[in-house]
A and B are shown apart, each in its own frame.
Chain A
Amino acid sequence: MKTILPHNALSLEKSSPGRRGVRFEPVQKHASAYLPEAYLRKSAPKLPELSEFETVRHFTRLSELNYCLDGEFYPLGSCTMKYNPKAYDFLSALPGFTQVHPLAPESSVQGTLEMLYHFQELLKKVTGLAAFTLQPAAGAHGELTGILTARAYHDARKDFKRTEVIVPDTAHGTNPATAHMAGYTVVNIKSAPDGRVDKAALQQALSDKTAVVMLTVPNTVGLFETDIREIADMVHKAGALFYLDGANFNALAGLVKPADMGADLMHLNVHKSFAAPHGGGGPGAGPVGAAAHVAPFLPKPMVELKNGKYTLSGKMPKSLGKMKAFYGNIAVCLRGYCYLRQFDGTTFRQIAENAILNANYIRAALKGKFNAFFDCICMHECVLSINPAEMNGVHTSDIAKRLLDYGFYAPTIYFPLIVPEAMMVEPTETESKQMMDAFVEAMEQIYTEIQTEPQTVKDAPHTQCVCRIDEVSAAREPNLRW
């Protein structure tokens, strides 16, 4: 049979001159009646010309080429791909929320402001921190907000000699990149052999030049920093602030309050811990919490409750300024608010408990074939490594591609950097035992294939709409537009 159109024809390739997907009412006068000639565009833009039906077909077809959480298990470590409840999609699309202008009179947007205010309050409760801003639009944006808040704090104390940010070598790349963006020098410290912070190395790195220490808890190898309070004390004794990267908050939810660990600042990822969908990479939301002594330096504005009215008009004279044109990613925050309202003080801990149970189940079930690099009980994710001697030349990236053939998305691979051939598996609490058993079985089969037919694994994937992609020539001769 001959295919009529290739599966991935571009919209422009399906285009027919004069075809339209939508029409507007006719105008009385054209642009040239309102604007001088010099201000007009010289030629029409090369946009596709499709009917509405063709457009619907085109994007529906493209959607079918995606793996997605609604369809497949996504064991992506550090990404917390948990179920995104459908009610929140419906609620965040209510016209009462979506059709609101950010500069409309505050009296006309009390519903949105009330929701945001209570979301801030709930985040304070689950973290123990004194204040939360919802302004940051993503986790990395939250990190930058947090580090700039720390900088405003030190600057206000005229403590200008603090020019360094300490980051462990297990950190996400955003941590050092953020510190650099905020104008700091990054000091990397090596981890201890057990994957946790090397306290001696930390002590040696700390000085009166240290502005902030950034830590992810649980850390990126999936372990809790057992000496966290001692570490926080060391940081505080040096006069620095302790920034907690909340990327892995799903493993703390209800178990530990970040404030109790000594955190001065932290960000949360609403699209991870609080079940908002990832949307193919964004938008997210990265609320930042601060302890009382740092809170006045958070970006302005914040939602406040004054005389029974919710307002964004409060003065924040010590604030670092604005991080974003308008206040936060409302549609994402709304989902986070909905999520938190579905738990109470006793059920909230079930999130982390079951995330930890699931990660350890996969770790235990794969033991002997794919071992955890740190052979101990883990938190919400386990970092597997492979023994090159048993692998017949197969690499982690090949295993990742082969998993796609079995109907699973791949784990996070080659991260953290300190683990060779790393595969980081985070099942999250919303996966069932049956789904995890199926994943384990697929991994076992791949293990067998590596021994018996390694080429099958090296050539994977075999079942997707495209085969292994040549990324080298794509990067050498970039084709980034039609």
Chain B
Amino acid sequence: MCNEENCRFAKTHEWAHMDGDIATVGISNHAQEEISDIVFVDLPKVGQQVTAGQNCCVIESVKSASEIYAPVSGEVVEVNTALTNDPALVNREPHGNGWLFKIKMSTPAEYENLMDLTAYKATLGK
């Protein structure tokens, strides 16, 4: 099971958790706090090819629309359909049931370039 400690983070506040060649992607606790009450998640399409750093998902609050960037490259193989009826899952469990989508990684080395929790937290203080 994924938690803050066993994830890697992008500067743009997404996390990825690797299981084999599948990376599960979500947003950090800090990011969900910043966005606050999430009202809608516009998920990518299953089968869509994404490259690391590409905008592929949008999270909406009442007054904002935040773009989510793929932390690693590959094919979107699953999206979290539970968010369709309950987008607030992302607020409640950003590292658990509030995950966004899964990517079958084409370049697993990209995962290693992401930050660990300590390094990510250090970026937030700035």
Classify A-B as touching or not with yes or no (CB < 8 A): yes
Contact with A along B54-79 (1 / 0, CB 8 A): 00000011110000000000000000
Contact with B along A423-449 (1 / 0, CB 8 A): 000000000000000000000000000
Secondary structure call for the B interface: loop
| In the complex, residue of chain A having the shortest beta-carbon distance to the beta carbon of B86 | A476
- Cα distance A475–B87 in the bound complex, in angstroms: 11
Q: Collect the chain A residues with CB atoms within 8 Å of residue B87's CB.
A: 476
Secondary structure call for the A interface: helix
Q: B37 contacts the other chain (Cβ, under 8 Å)?
A: yes
Q: A40 contacts the other chain (Cβ, under 8 Å)?
A: no
- Cα distance A414–B62 in the bound complex, in angstroms: 14
Q: B88 contacts the other chain (Cβ, under 8 Å)?
A: yes
Q: Collect the chain A residues with CB atoms within 8 Å of residue B88's CB.
A: 476
| In the complex, residue of chain A having the shortest beta-carbon distance to the beta carbon of B88 | A476
* B-contacting residues, A321-378, CB 8 Å: none
Q: How far is the CB of A480 from chain B (nearest CB, A)?
A: 14
Q: Which of B39, B87, B88 has the largest number of chain A CB atoms within 10 A?
A: B39
Q: B40 contacts the other chain (Cβ, under 8 Å)?
A: yes
Q: How far is the CB of B58 from chain A (nearest CB, A)?
A: 14
Q: How far is the CB of B85 from chain A (nearest CB, A)?
A: 9
Q: A38 contacts the other chain (Cβ, under 8 Å)?
A: no
Q: A25 contacts the other chain (Cβ, under 8 Å)?
A: no
- Cα distance A13–B114 in the bound complex, in angstroms: 57
Q: Collect the chain A residues with CB atoms within 8 Å of residue B60's CB.
A: 475
- Cα distance A414–B40 in the bound complex, in angstroms: 22
Contact with A along B24-58 (1 / 0, CB 8 A): 00000000000001011000000000000000000
- Cα distance A471–B60 in the bound complex, in angstroms: 13
Q: A200 contacts the other chain (Cβ, under 8 Å)?
A: no
Q: A472 contacts the other chain (Cβ, under 8 Å)?
A: yes
- Cα distance A472–B40 in the bound complex, in angstroms: 10
Q: Collect the chain B residues with CB atoms within 8 Å of residue A475's CB.
A: 39-40, 60, 62
- Cα distance A414–B63 in the bound complex, in angstroms: 10
Q: Which residues in A have some Cβ–Cβ distance to B below 8 Å? A: 414, 471-472, 475-476
12 extra A-B contacts, CB within 8 A, seeds A475-B39, A476-B88? A414-B63, A471-B62, A472-B37, A472-B39, A472-B61, A472-B62, A475-B40, A475-B60, A475-B62, A476-B39, A476-B40, A476-B87
Report 5 cross-chain contacts, Cβ distance below 8 Å, ordered by A residue: A472-B39, A472-B61, A475-B40, A475-B60, A476-B88
Q: Which residues in B have some Cβ–Cβ distance to A below 8 Å? A: 37, 39-40, 60-63, 87-88
